[in-house]
Homo-oligomer: A and B are copies of this chain.
Amino acid sequence: MIDKLVGKIKKLNAPIVVGLDPNLAFVPEHIQKKAFDEYGETLEGAAEAIWQFNKAIVDAVYDLIPAVKPQIAMYEQFGLPGLEAFHRTVEYCRQKDLVIIGDIKRGDIGSTSEAYARGHLGPVKVGSRSLYGFNEDFVTLNPYMGSDSINPFINTAKKEKKGAFILVKTSNPSSGEFQDRLIDGRPLFEYVAEKVNEWGSDYVGECGYSYVGAVVGATYPEQARITRKLMPKAYILVPGYGAQGATAKDLLPNFDENGLGAIVNSSRGIIAAYKQEKYAKFGAEHFADASRAAVIDMQKDIASVL
């Protein structure tokens, strides 16, 4: 799957992943109204609204991008109907041949991580059959509990030819509270980066990159310079561009000398583009066209610095 991801990034010249994180506040009024008319102001109504929103955006941008990253929290907030919309979104993106990064940030004791791995990278045994629950291509993982919380995902990924991105240095303001604490003069996130390198070292695709990648926030370019060196084979998933404040230049340290090695996420900046002054001319009716324009601008912006 890392080979598919890198192949698509090269072909499209677009190291871009669109974060499908549909808060209701992003969904235009007319889509909400239609969904509520049909299902009422219920969790089912909300789920229908975000599904229709997602579908229109995917239809508008799928030929420009290699991958999508649905953030499962945005679906989980609407309970079971929300997770049904997550499942439907994943399946729809697969039909469009997009690489799907499930942003789930899971991680637990070994037997529990095994269950998460079955649910998200699959399959799970039921009687004599092997079935898939959510079936993403990659997942994001939290490393706080160490190797035995990560290995079950890597083992499942190996069998399924899938992959994972492990949190190293996150994009949020308080990420330094623990991640930057100094251990023998070096911050914790560097040790995590070394572990990511170790976890992924014997699991490298034909493209030269590992199936075990990392998450490094675009909001911390100085730190990215270090992590890039510590994990030479890790593909880096970079959140924080756009809405969280990072610019194209801030992304550079995550890329290698070939302009590869990183894929940049934008969520709000793409899916709620129609709410920005820059794309206001599209209007709420044509929100998906605004998203397409924003993807094209993002592609150009990143290409201009690489």
**Chain A interfacial positions (CB closer than 8 Å to B):** 21, 23-24, 32, 36, 41-43, 45-46, 71, 73-74, 76-80, 82-84, 87, 105-113, 115-116, 118-120, 124-129, 131-134, 142-149, 167, 170-179, 181-184, 188, 191-192, 195, 239, 244
Contact = CB atoms under 8 A, between A and B. Distances in A.
A246 to B, nearest CB: 13
A106 B109 contact: no
A41 B128 contact: yes
Q: How many copies does the complex hold?
A: 2
A145 to B, nearest CB: 5
Given A112-B73, A191-B181, A144 B119 contact: no
A127 B77 contact: no
Contact of A77 (B133, B172, B181): B133
Contact of A146 (B110, B125, B177, B182): B177
A149 B133 contact: no
Contact of A144 (B124, B132, B143, B171): B143
Given A144-B179, A148-B174, A174-B147, A127 B76 contact: no
